């Protein structure tokens, strides 16, 4: 078919017209090969302008379109839509930025005009190599897989489950509720945990839109946003295949193992416990020494493993205050001493909680080089004095660290972990609960140490993300400008596969070539640049297209 390229130059009111001699540009451009028509317009992005464009495309039967106007970041989408309406494949169009990067930055009109002409020529040199790209639509499954039946997982499930959205909640232990089940009360309100947890669990178990698997494990997840297939090994040891559109990772945390630091004497001396062990003792109402006697003096050691792990676990201080309350409630005369390196009670409520607890006669001592011996604690005070503190029970508050199976899960889901081993968010601020894999979200302590309130906030954030992005019946429109790999040229070295951040390239063992999953591909082009033989290329940014652009720009 005869190619006919249309070139339209936008005056953008005075913005471009004043600084670029548009007629001059038109003059040069008109003479170029296969340019069918060159016209100017006051404001192409206006309703009137779009109408004019659409008509011109149809009347002149344009096969390709170049528009010189503002930045593609401004109006590329706008004009692509016009192309579509006019029946021209929107990728056979190139927007030339002669406003932000030309008219507005060059005072001298002659130079600006020369620049504008150059840009338009470059686009014209490139456009013959544009390929029409198809717009694809895929169904999107609204159902959700939630991994981890702790408070975060429960909250997420409850928020998401509904008549048109099933939730599959997978818990590796035999019960829902996670670590929270062992807590009698919650700081700072000291309200009973049951209030919060019991009825939530009940709601989960009663909801017909939530399917709970306990003693279960996720064996594998493949797919992409809107279309994941998960294999779940149930308590009955059968393997179920579950289709979902999104996955929420709420696998919680483990405690730092205090035996790694011998000076804390954990598992060496009697009556040295971790916070979780203490919660349990408290819940069972048996806070007793090995010898069966109630404790008279108790030390709570903060920041256990803080240095080793390299971060503050954010919750230990507040629950230590809670522990003090537990103790004071049971044994009014018990002596409670908190030994900390840094005290962290942020937020609008904890300061008060701290002061009240202190007022109950609970000691707070800034101590270093703590060493626990039989019934006595050696430490250095702030002013470097060595001190001995006689106690008959010690509670350690070990750092919160990623759960033991985090790496396995990360690998299975192709999501990344941060240097501490927690699941990494896509961006601290731009995507705090998203991951490198579209459709896979993280919440609660799986993403980093945080208290229950914050975990619930994240649960709601995730729910919000999913509810707004995966509306039942929605079709997904994956990126059209993806990478592609030429079967003929690929030698199967899999370099592309190694540099792809999205697991969007897989290797076809039979053909021995790499293949792009066009739905996972985000179109960055890293693979294309990494491929020595030019087998991988990025649609709409192919080597040839870019090369042509460069050559013409340098003409």
Partner 1 sequence: MKDEFEPRIIGFLCNWCSYAGADLAGTSRLQYPPSLLPIRVMCSSRVDPLFVISAFLRGADAVLIAGCHPGDCHYQEGNYYARRRFACVRKVFETLGMESDRLRLSWISASEGPRFANVITEYTEKIKKLGPNPANKKIFL
Partner 2 sequence: MANILKISKNAEEGLRELLRFLLEKKRVKAVFTLRKINENSAVSYSLITDSEMLKDALPLFPLMPQNAGKLLSRLTLKEHLLEPTAAVVRPCELRAFIELVKRKQGSLDNFIFISTTCPGTYPLELSTNGDIWKKLPEYEMCVKEGDIVPDIRPVCQACEHFIPYSADMTIALIGKKDVDKSCEIFLNTEKAEKLIEGMDGELSEGELETKEIKKLHSKRQEKKKELFKEINVESLGLSGLIETFGRCIGCHGCGRVCPICYCVLCDFDSRDYECEPSTYESELKKRGGMRVPPNTVLYQLGRLTHVSVSCVGCGMCTDVCPADIPISTIFLKVGEEVQNLFNYIPGKSVEEAIPLTKYEKEEFAEVED
Cis link prior to 188 (omega < 30° from 0)? yes
SS3 258: helix
Handedness of CA 261, 264, 269, 272 (dihedral sign): negative
Q: Terminal CA-to-CA distance of the chain, rounded, Å?
A: 29
SS3 444: helix
263 is written with which tokens?
Answer: 């000076």
Work out whether 73 is an interface residue with partner 1 (CB under 8 A).
Answer: yes
Query: Cβ 194 to partner 1, closest distance in Å?
Result: 42
Work out whether 534 is an interface residue with partner 2 (CB under 8 A).
Answer: yes
374 is written with which tokens?
Answer: 């039989």
The residues in 364-423 that bind partner 1, with binding defined as CB under 8 A, are 416
Nearer to partner 2, 30 or 192 (CB): 30
Query: How far is C-alpha 206 from the geometric centre of its chain's CA atoms?
Result: 31
Query: Cβ 125 to partner 2, closest distance in Å?
Result: 8
**Site map 483..522 versus partner 2, x via CB under 8 A:** -----xxxxxxxx--xx------------x----------
Nearer to partner 1, 209 or 417 (CB): 417
300 sits in which H/E element: strand 297-304
The residues in 327-366 that bind partner 1, with binding defined as CB under 8 A, are none
Report the alpha-carbon angle 423-428-431, nearest 5.
Answer: 85
One of 43, 412, 543, 553 touching partner 2 (CB under 8 A): 543
One of 203, 207, 234, 526 touching partner 1 (CB under 8 A): 526
**Contact range with partner 1 by CB under 8 A, out of 299-307, 368-376, 447-455, 517-525:** 517-525
403 is written with which tokens?
Answer: 């759960």
Q: Which of 183, 182, 177, 258 is CA-nearest to residue 214?
A: 177
Look-up of token digits 């069966």: 292
488 binds, among partner 1, partner 2, none (CB under 5 to 8 A by kind): partner 2
One of 72, 162, 294, 421 touching partner 1 (CB under 8 A): 72
One of 12, 144, 528, 535 touching partner 1 (CB under 8 A): 528
SS3 510: coil
490 binds, among partner 1, partner 2, none (CB under 5 to 8 A by kind): partner 2
Query: How far is C-alpha 429 from the geometric centre of its chain's CA atoms?
Result: 10
Nearer to partner 1, 338 or 482 (CB): 482
Work out whether 551 is an interface residue with partner 1 (CB under 8 A).
Answer: yes
**Contact range with partner 1 by CB under 8 A, out of 95-103, 254-262, 317-325, 364-372:** 95-103
533 binds, among partner 1, partner 2, none (CB under 5 to 8 A by kind): partner 2
Tally Cβ neighbours within 10 Å of residue 56. Answer: 17
Q: Which of 68, 93, 71, 67 is CA-nearest to residue 80?
A: 93
526 binds, among partner 1, partner 2, none (CB under 5 to 8 A by kind): partner 1
Query: Cβ 107 to partner 1, closest distance in Å?
Result: 6
Those residues whose C-beta lies under 8 Å from the C-beta of residue 448, and which sit 6 or more positions away, are 418, 420, 422
Q: What are phi and psi of 215, to 5 degrees?
A: 50, 30
329 sits in which H/E element: helix 316-330
Query: How far is C-alpha 424 from the geometric centre of its chain's CA atoms?
Result: 7
Work out whether 467 is an interface residue with partner 1 (CB under 8 A).
Answer: no
SS3 290: coil
Specify which residues 427 forms β-bridges with. 431
One of 50, 54, 75, 115 touching partner 1 (CB under 8 A): 115
491 binds, among partner 1, partner 2, none (CB under 5 to 8 A by kind): partner 2
544 binds, among partner 1, partner 2, none (CB under 5 to 8 A by kind): partner 2
Give me the residues that bind partner 2 (CB under 8 A), please: 488-495, 498-499, 512, 530, 532-535, 543-544, 547, 551, 555
Name the site residues for partner 1 (rule: CB under 8 A).
Answer: 71-74, 97, 99-102, 104-108, 111-112, 114-115, 118-119, 122, 416, 426, 436, 481, 499, 501, 522-526, 528-530, 538, 541, 543, 546-547, 549-551, 553-554
């Amino acid at each position: 078919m005869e190619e006919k390229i249309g070139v339209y130059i936008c005056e953008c009111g005075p913005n471009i017209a004043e600084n670029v001699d548009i007629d001059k540009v038109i003059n040069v451009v008109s003479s170029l090969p296969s340019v069918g028509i060159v016209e100017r317009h006051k404001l192409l992005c206006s309703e009137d302008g779009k109408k004019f464009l659409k008509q011109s495309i149809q009347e002149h039967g344009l096969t390709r379109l170049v528009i010189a106007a503002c930045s593609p970041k401004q109006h590329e989408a706008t004009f692509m839509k016009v192309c579509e309406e006019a029946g021209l494949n929107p990728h056979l169009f190139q927007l030339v930025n002669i406003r932000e990067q030309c008219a507005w930055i060059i005072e001298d009109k002659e130079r600006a005009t020369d620049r504008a002409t150059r840009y338009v020529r470059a686009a014209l040199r490139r456009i013959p190599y544009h390929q029409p790209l198809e717009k694809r639509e895929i169904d999107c499954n609204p159902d959700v897989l939630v991994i981890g039946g702790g408070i975060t997982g429960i909250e997420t499930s409850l928020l998401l489950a509904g008549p048109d959205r099933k939730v599959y909640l997978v818990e590796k232990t035999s019960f829902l509720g996670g670590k929270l089940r062992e807590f009698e009360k919650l700081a700072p309100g000291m309200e009973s945990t049951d209030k919060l947890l019991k009825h939530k669990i009940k709601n989960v178990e009663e909801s017909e839109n939530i399917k709970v698997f306990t003693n279960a494990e996720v064996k594998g997840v493949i797919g992409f946003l809107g279309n994941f297939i998960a294999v779940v090994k149930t308590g009955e040891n059968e393997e179920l295949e579950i289709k979902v559109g999104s996955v929420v990772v709420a696998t919680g945390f483990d405690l730092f193992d205090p035996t790694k630091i011998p000076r804390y004497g954990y598992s060496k001396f009697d009556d040295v416990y971790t916070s979780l062990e203490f919660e349990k003792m408290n819940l069972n109402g048996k806070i007793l020494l090995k010898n069966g006697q109630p404790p008279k003096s108790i030390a709570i050691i903060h920041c256990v493993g803080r240095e080793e792990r390299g971060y503050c676990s954010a919750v230990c201080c507040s629950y230590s205050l809670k522990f003090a309350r537990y103790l004071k409630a049971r044994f009014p005369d018990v002596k409670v001493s908190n030994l900390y390196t840094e005290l962290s009670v942020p937020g609008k409520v904890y300061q008060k909680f701290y002061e009240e607890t202190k007022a109950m006669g609970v000691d707070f001592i800034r101590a270093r080089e703590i060493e626990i011996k039989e019934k006595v604690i050696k430490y250095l005070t702030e002013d470097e004095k060595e001190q001995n503190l006689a106690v008959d029970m010690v509670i350690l508050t070990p750092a919160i660290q990623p759960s033991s199976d985090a790496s396995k899960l990360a690998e299975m889901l192709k999501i990344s972990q941060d240097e501490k081993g927690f699941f990494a968010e896509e961006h601290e601020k731009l995507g705090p609960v998203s991951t490198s894999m579209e459709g896979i979200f993280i919440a609660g302590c799986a993403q980093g140490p945080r208290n229950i309130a914050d975990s619930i906030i994240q649960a709601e954030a995730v729910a919000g993300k999913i509810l707004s992005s995966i509306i039942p019946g929605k079709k997904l429109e994956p990126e059209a400008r993806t990478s592609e790999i030429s079967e003929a040229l690929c030698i199967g070295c899999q370099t592309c596969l190694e540099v792809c951040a999205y697991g969007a390239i897989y290797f076809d063992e039979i053909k021995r070539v790499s293949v792009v999953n066009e739905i996972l591909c985000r179109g960055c082009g890293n693979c294309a640049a990494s491929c020595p033989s030019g087998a991988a290329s990025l649609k709409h940014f192919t080597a040839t297209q870019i090369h042509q652009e460069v050559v013409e720009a340098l003409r």
